[in-house]
Amino acid sequence: MKKLIHKKLIIPVLAVVIFFSTTAFKNDFFEIAKQIEIFTTLFKEINMNYVDDTNPGDLMDTAIKSMLDDLDPYTQFYNEQDVEASRINNAGDYTGIGAKVLTLKDKLVIVEPYKNYAADKAGLKAGDEIIKVDNVVVADFKDDAANLLQGAAGTEVNVTYKRQGKTNTVKITRESLEIKAVPHYSMVDDKTGYIVLRKFNEKASSETLGALRALKNQGATQLILDLRGNPGGLLNEAVNVTNIFVPKDQLVVTTKSKVKKYNKTYYTKRDAIDTEIPLVVLIDGSSASASEIVSGALQDMDRAVVVGARSFGKGLVQRPKSLTYGTQMKITISRYYTPSGRCIQALDYWNRDENGKATRVKKENYNAFKTRNGRDVFDGGGVQPDVEIELSKQTPITKAILNENLVFNYATQYYYDNTVEDLSNFRLSDSDFNDFKSYLRETGFSFETKTEKALDDAIAVSKEEELNGVINSEINALTEALQTYKTNAINANKAQLKSLLTDQIIKHFFYSEGLYDYYTANNTEIKKALEILNNPKQYASILR
C-alpha cells in the first residue's frame, strides 16, 4: 500500500520541487505555496480514498488543461508525443502517409492527399473516412487518432476507410515528407511575381528568398506575397521575411512582458534583397501571429499595400518551457507591438463575458497610430487592409457552413458526380449552386444568429415579467424578420459561397497545386493586387 501511495504522489511532489526551484514567483510566494499544498493534499486524498480506482495521470492531465483553459488558447501543455509533433511542425519534416487529415469524433477524414506522396499513391482521396488503422478502431481511440498514421519512413500501415458507402482497406508505406513554407510561386503576368507563404517554420525566409530570386530571374519587377490562411509560427522568421524587403537595422516588432528579460526589440539584421520592388501583401481572417507581424510591419513602414480582409488579431507571443519526463508547455509570455506601436490583439481573454467566452475589442476602443508617411492605422482588431475586399470577409452564415464542413462535403460529392478535365475553364454554374442549396436543406443545416439568441433570452425574460402579452406582436414581427433574413442569407452570400465551393472542388480534382494555378488567373484578391501594381499612381497614392 505504501509503495502504491508513493507512486501516486510522485507527480505532484515533483511538480512542487520544480515549482519552488524557479525564481519567477517571488511576489506571491505564500499564496502560491498555499494553493499547491491544498492541491497536493486533495490529490493524495482522492487517489487514496475515492470509491473507484483512479488514474493519477488522467486526473493530472484534466487538472492541467482545465487550469490552462482559464488563460488563453495558446498556453498549452504538451506530452511527449505533442512535443515531437511540434518539432515536426516547426522543422518542416514529417513522416507518415502524406495527407492532411481532420480528426472527428469517430473517424479521420482525408482533407487533402499530398500529390505524389504515400496516401495519394495508395489511391486515397479527399473525403475518404478512415475508420481503422491497423487493428485500432478510430472510434475507440482516446487520443488524437491522427497520431496512428505517423511512423518511421519505410514502415507499413493498413488503413480501412469508407468511400461513397463502401469500405476498403489499403496498405500504405510511410515516407518522409518535406512540408514547404512556400508551396507555390509563379509569374502572374510578364512582370508580376506571386509567392504563397503558408507557414512560418524554420525554412520560411529562405524559401521566400529563393522564390523571389527565381521570379526576378524570370522578369518579375513587382510582387504579390500571399499570407492568406497563414496561421503564423516562428517570430524570428517573421522578422527575416520582413528583412527581405526592408533595410538593415529597421525595427520590426517589440515584445512586452511582466518578466523584464522577455521585453525585446527585433530589428532587421541583414541587408535587404530588394527595398524598391512594388509589393502587395494579401491577408484574410485566417492570417495570424507571424503573418500579422509581417503585414503589420510592412504596412507601418509604408513598404507594401495590404489587400484582403482584416486579419485574425493575435498579438500574443508564446515561448516553450521544458518540464519533466520529456513534456513541455507553451506559455504566453508577452504581447507584441508593430513598429508604429500598436498591438493588434482582437480577443480579450482576461475580461470574459457571462458565458466565459473571450470578448472582442470594440471598435470604439481602438487606438490610432501613424505609419511613417502619417497614415492612420489602428490596434485592437487585427491588421486592417489598406484595400478591403468585401468577398474576402466571411459572414456569419459562411462561417457556420464552413464550421460544419458542408462546403468540403459537397465538394466531395461533386467530385464523384462530375468530371472536370480543363482547370482553366472551370466555373461553378448557377445550377450547381442551386444543387448546393438543396444539399444544405437535405443535411438539415440551420444556424442561430447572435440577434436570434438575444431575442430568445429577451422572450424568456418577458415571460418572467409577464410582459410577453404586451409585446407579443413586436416579438412575432422580429422573429419573422429574422427567419426571412436566414432564408435569404444563402442567396445574399452567393458570390462568396460559390468562390469557396470552387476552391474546394478544384483542390479535389487538381490538388493545391491546381488551386494556385487557378488563383493566378481567376482569384479576386490577386486581380485587385494586379490592378494596384499595374497603376503606379494608385499604388503610391495608397501609401501616401
Helices of type H across 218-351: 235-243, 290-300
Could you give the C-alpha distances from 331 to 75, 167, 233, 328, in angstroms and in order? 4, 43, 14, 10
Instruction: Take residue 78 and report the three cell numbers written for it.
Output: 504538451
Residues 221 and 413: their CA atoms lie apart, in Å, by 42
Residues 348 and 72: their CA atoms lie apart, in Å, by 9
Residues 107 and 141: their CA atoms lie apart, in Å, by 10
Out of 289, 295, 311, 392, which one is annotated catalytic? 289
Out of 8, 107, 314, 498, which one is annotated catalytic? 314
Residues 141 and 136: their CA atoms lie apart, in Å, by 7
Is 205 annotated as catalytic?
no
> 117: exposed, middle or buried (C-beta count within 10 Å: 0-12, 13-18, 19+)?
buried
Q: Where are the beta strands (DSSP E) in 197-324?
A: 222-226, 251-256, 264-267, 279-283, 305-308, 316-322
Cβ neighbour number for residue 228 with a 10 Å cutoff: 23
Q: How far is CA 176 from its chain centroid?
A: 24
The helix/strand/coil state of 199 is coil
Could you give the C-alpha distances from 274 to 68, 69, 267, 339, in angstroms and in order? 43, 44, 17, 20
Q: Where are the beta strands (DSSP E) in 394-465?
A: none
**Closest among 310, 195, 331 to 259, alpha carbons compared:** 331
Which residues lie across from 328 on neighbouring strands? 78, 322
DSSP code per residue over 94-137: EEESSEEEEE-SS-EEEEEEPTTSHHHHTT--TT-EEEEETTEE
Is 314 annotated as catalytic?
yes
Instruction: Take residue 325 and report the three cell numbers written for it.
Output: 519526463
Give ∠ CA 430-435-436 in degrees, rounded to 5.
95
Residues 381 and 347: their CA atoms lie apart, in Å, by 8
How long, in residues, is the chain? 544
Taking a C-beta distance cutoff of 8 angstroms, is the pair 196, 185 a contact?
yes
Residues 92 and 80: their CA atoms lie apart, in Å, by 19
Cβ neighbour number for residue 296 with a 10 Å cutoff: 32
The set of catalytic residues is: 289, 314
